[in-house]
Amino acid sequence: MFSMAYQNPPSIPISDPEAQEITPTPNPSSTPLAKGYSAKVVANKVKNNLVFHSKWGELNGAMGDLGTYIPIVLALTLARDLNLGTTLIFTGVYNIITGAIYGVPMPVQPMKSIAAQALSDTTFGVPEIMAAGILTGGVLFVLGVTGLMQLVYRLIPLCVVRGIQLAQGLSFSLTAVKYVRKIQDLPKSKSLGGRPWFGLDGLVLAIVCLCFIVIVNGAGEKNRGCCDGVESGGGDLGGQKRDEVERNKRSRVRRVIFSLPSAFMVFVLGVVLAFVRRHEVVHEIKFRPSSIEVVKFSKHAWKKGFVKGAIPQLPLSILNSVIAVCKLSSDLFPGKDFSATSLSVTVGLMNLVGSWFGAMPSCHGAGGLAGQYKFGGRSGGCVALLGVAKLALGLVLGSSLAHILKQFPVGILGVLLLFAGIELAMCCRDMNTKEDSFVMLICTAVSLVGSSAALGFLCGMIIYVLLRLRNWTRDKPLSAIWMQKSPEQV
């Protein structure tokens, strides 16, 4: 699995990029002498992938995906008796492994289409959820190992992927605003009325948390806390020194403020308020892990899981969990190009293992990656840290953790989810041509109105093909027409 995470296998680093293109890269396992060092190479790669780029930044980034993770898992725990402890244990292990493999904050999220079906259909229970996860994971695993997923990745145009990302980002943002403005019944996925202005889960609290994150994180600029470097004009040397001292003080204050782990602080505030809102929750906590048992499946569960769970989930997993994550990771982390094959295999393996024991079907997601990047996650250590926390909570508290999460202010979850959605939607700003923007917006509009990424993808691909057909009269090769390259680049 480690070898599939990167398109280029780990080898001796070469500083000159041109020399790297010319010089053949030795395969660590090609000679008997190199075989003895393969384990050391892998160990060094894992160690480098887990190194924190910034302690507070990585800790803060680990909170970036909780706005999506907590509501879905909590709703399924309360409404469908999902084993929260088992889910935390398995997803924690997934986080640690993916962080070690990829070296970026690769998220592990619940499969949203399966979760939506389970919450809307009272007869879609745990066996059906797990059957859908196993079948979805099996298809993704086969697509990965056969190389078909990489072919799909190469054929899907960037503007269509951006349309799916924009739709997903806007969907997250709209849900986040609903969480902030309305009181939510998460198990039933219903809004119960306007949220009061004041209180421990009031509108004012959510607005204050929103403003705090904006002040600390801004719009996500890379060089937060840097002074503007304004030069002083003429004058006496004493005045210049006083101005320089004043600027240094302001610079230190800016660095302190802009380096605060805003998302982590907001999440900790939510946990404290959960205990304040209901003191009795302390007596409902049991310090023991949930029992891990093999789920029993019937023929009806397999059939219903495939028809109502796996079939709607597959297009979303292929597009948002594999294709969109590949595109987004190359945008956010230049030089770390992950193959669609690797992502498809890891998603497949996660569900082929964990779903048999009652862990919620999981996948990667562009929204989670964008959210964790937004709040400062830059390495695999970010998600590995989150995985350790999930693993510890699953082993120590088990399913009793649901009593705490049930009291967590939903308005704060909405604030965290809002920033994740906006960051994902902002990826579409690289669409520079009118044709690409046209395809992207059609794909987005259909996805949002039809509530189906698959339908939006289909419409986007049809419009893209029709626009490419118009270019046949320009005497361009077929490859140039499809990939929008000039004939000189072909």
Q: Write the pLDDT tens digit of every residue in 379-416.
A: 999 999 999 999 999 999 988 888 888 888 989 988 98
Say which DSSP state 146 is in. Answer: T
What are 182's strand-pairing partners?
Answer: 194
> Is the Cβ–Cβ distance between 409 and 184 less than 8 Å?
no
Alpha-carbon torsion, ordered 383, 380, 322, 405, to 10 deg: 0
Alpha carbon distance 386, 107 (integer Å):
10
Burial 31-53 (b: 16+ CB within 10 A, else e): eeeeeeeeeebeeebbeebbebe
pLDDT of residue 383: 93
- pLDDT tops 60 at residue 479: no
Residue of 96 and 165 predicted with greater confidence:
96
Alpha carbon distance 63, 265 (integer Å):
9
Say which DSSP state 472 is in. Answer: G
Structure token digits, residue 472: 């046949």
2 CB neighbour count, 10 Å cutoff? 18
Tens digits of residue pLDDT in 411-435 = 998 898 888 888 878 878 878 888 8
- pLDDT tops 60 at residue 142: yes
Section 452-481 average pLDDT: 76
Q: Read off the pLDDT band of 1 (50, 70, 90).
A: very low
pLDDT of residue 381: 92
Residue 391 sits at the vertex; the CA angle it makes with 387 and 396, to the nearest 5 degrees, is 150
Extents of the domains making up the chain: 2-14+41-207+260-430, 433-490
Tens digits of residue pLDDT in 348-391 = 999 999 999 999 999 998 888 988 988 888 899 999 999 999 99
CA distances from 188 to 75, 281, 418 (A): 7, 22, 21
pLDDT of residue 483: 54
Tally the C-alpha atoms within 13 A of residue 316's C-alpha that lie toward its C-beta.
26
Q: Read off the pLDDT band of 12 (50, 70, 90).
A: very low
- pLDDT tops 70 at residue 13: no
Q: Read off the pLDDT band of 288 (50, 70, 90).
A: confident
User: pTM (2 decimals)?
Assistant: 0.75
Which amino acid appears at position 377 of this protein? G
Which amino acid appears at position 82 of this protein? L
Q: Read off the pLDDT band of 241 (50, 70, 90).
A: low
- pLDDT tops 70 at residue 480: no
Alpha carbon distance 75, 78 (integer Å):
5
Q: Read off the pLDDT band of 80 (50, 70, 90).
A: confident
- pLDDT tops 50 at residue 332: yes
pLDDT of residue 246: 66
pLDDT of residue 470: 78
Alpha carbon distance 361, 154 (integer Å):
27
Tally the C-alpha atoms within 13 A of residue 381's C-alpha that lie toward its C-beta.
18
Alpha carbon distance 387, 93 (integer Å):
6
- pLDDT tops 60 at residue 30: no
CA distances from 82 to 85, 240, 324 (A): 9, 65, 28
Section 72-82 average pLDDT: 86
**In which element (H, E) is residue 331 found?**
helix 324-332
- pLDDT tops 80 at residue 487: no
**In 23-110, alpha helices (H):** 32-35, 38-50, 55-61, 66-80, 84-102
